Amino acid sequence: MSTTDTTQEIQTVERTHVVVLGAGYAGAMAANRLRQNPDVDVTVVNPQPFFVQRIRLHQFVARTGEPQTGFDDVLGDGIDVVVDTATRIDAEARRVHLASGKHLDYDYLIYAIGSRHQLPDIPGASDHALSASDWTAAQRLRERLDALDAGAPVVVVGGGLTGVEIAGELAGRGFAVTLAGGGAVAPSVGERGYRATLRQLGRLGVDVLEDARVTAVEASRVTIETDGRERTLPSPATVFATGFTAPELAADSGLTTDGVGRLRTDVTLMSVDDDRIVGAGDATVAAGTSLRMSCQAAEPLGAQAADAVLARIAGDAPKPVDQAFVAQCTSIGRHAATLQFTRRDDSPARAVVTGRVAALAKEVVCRGTVWNIRREAAHPGAFSWLRGPEVTAEREPVLQ
């Protein structure tokens, strides 16, 4: 009996490693969506060992809501999570250096580290200003507020939507809140939404000083200027909500950024310096786009960043950014809100909903952001969004 030896050729599939920096709305969405390709290994780097729902941080500081969600509840199976902070990106070596001293090598990098509070240059602000802009800052603010007596005075600095939400939430808890608008309150909404916002703040007892500008901050008081005159307000907790900027990581790594530190990309979210680095969320500005820093923009950008990487892996050309805005919804305490519908470019439309109905809509939005990420974890590729006009490279980015 004779036998014939046969050689069976074993083929191995080349795997691709994608590192996602940040596990917020954009990063978590991107990580989950990448799982459409079973040959992609995904590692997420995040400073906290849990997902932080940033749009609930004003509730966290007032003890009216919980922003934490475990990663096992929002990230899909097989995603590795590294609890650390990126300190430098070596694009040439395709390597990310971490604060712990370790490093991660990557084939593609999704840059989704979010935004941070932009503190104005006001005497005393760097020493005494508090904020609810991120998890660490919110913890510090909550500890300060917990130490105050009921009805204690609190000054909120900044009349944008974040400042309005913080002022309303703290007034609802019983603090005597003054909102120093810095020249305008809710400037991004239309006239009807503006009037409704002021009316609802008034019902909560918020003292709105729309034109007041803070000129100095001390441990227990602030100095404001109105109509050319200065006066001092008691404030054992002064909360700044004066806008956002991008972290320095991209700039410190030698990558091209805009005036507020956001990673500059082309219309497909690829870094203008390196097509192995893809941007998403608040920390990115794509050529031709004008996207407000928000979860409303971050989740679609995270999905599109993942799609861009998957296209490159498949040998296809990534598609240009394509999304639009729907509304701006601002909670004012737990029982009222202003829901300002917008045009696709985020400019205010005529339609406005206020009061309890708008508060219900706001809660649906907050829950929906997490639901979107969970659904993408269960069904990679399922997330869809409102698409806007096609973006072209000729359109200049506009900072909002």
Tens-place pLDDT, residues 343-375: 999 999 999 999 999 999 999 999 999 999 999
pLDDT at 26 over 60: yes
What pLDDT does 393 receive?
Answer: 39
What pLDDT does 3 receive?
Answer: 41
Question: Taking the alpha carbons of 141, 146, 148, 149 in that order, is the dihedral positive or negative?
Answer: positive
171 Cβ contact list (under 8 Å, min separation 6): 177, 201, 204, 205, 206, 333
The answer to whether the beta carbons of residues 213 and 135 sit under 8 Å apart is no
- Of all residues in the chain, the percent with pLDDT exceeding 70 is 93
What token pair was written down for 327?
């509304």
pLDDT at 2 over 80: no
Residue type, 99: A
State the pLDDT confidence band at 10, using cuts at 50, 70 and 90: low
Q: What is the pLDDT of residues 30-72, one digit of tens each?
A: 999 999 999 999 999 999 999 999 999 999 999 999 999 999 9
What pLDDT does 392 receive?
Answer: 41
What pLDDT does 291 receive?
Answer: 84
Q: What is the pLDDT of residues 232-264, one digit of tens each?
A: 999 999 999 998 899 999 999 999 999 899 999
What pLDDT does 139 receive?
Answer: 97
Mean pLDDT of all residues in the chain? 92
pLDDT at 210 over 70: yes
What are the φ/ψ torsions at residue 87 (nearest 5 degrees)?
-115, -25
What pLDDT does 188 receive?
Answer: 95
Q: What is the pLDDT of residues 316-352, one digit of tens each?
A: 999 999 988 999 999 999 999 999 999 999 999 999 9
Nearest to 161 by CA among 7, 252, 292: 292
State the pLDDT confidence band at 143, using cuts at 50, 70 and 90: very high
Nearest to 17 by CA among 94, 113, 114: 94
State the pLDDT confidence band at 388, using cuts at 50, 70 and 90: low
Domains of the chain (ranges, CATH numbers): 16-115+246-321 (3.50.50.60), 125-240 (3.50.50.60)
State the pLDDT confidence band at 387, using cuts at 50, 70 and 90: confident
CA distance 362 to 219: 34
Q: What is the pLDDT of residues 260-281, one digit of tens each?
A: 999 999 999 999 999 999 999 9
What pLDDT does 12 receive?
Answer: 62
Question: Taking the alpha carbons of 138, 338, 50, 310 in that order, is the dihedral positive or negative?
Answer: negative
pLDDT at 390 over 90: no
What token pair was written down for 260?
């507020």
State the pLDDT confidence band at 11, using cuts at 50, 70 and 90: low
pLDDT at 84 over 50: yes
pLDDT at 198 over 50: yes
- State the CB neighbour count (10 A cutoff) for residue 251: 15
Mean pLDDT score, 189-217: 97
Total-model pTM: 0.91
pLDDT at 9 over 80: no
pLDDT at 5 over 60: no
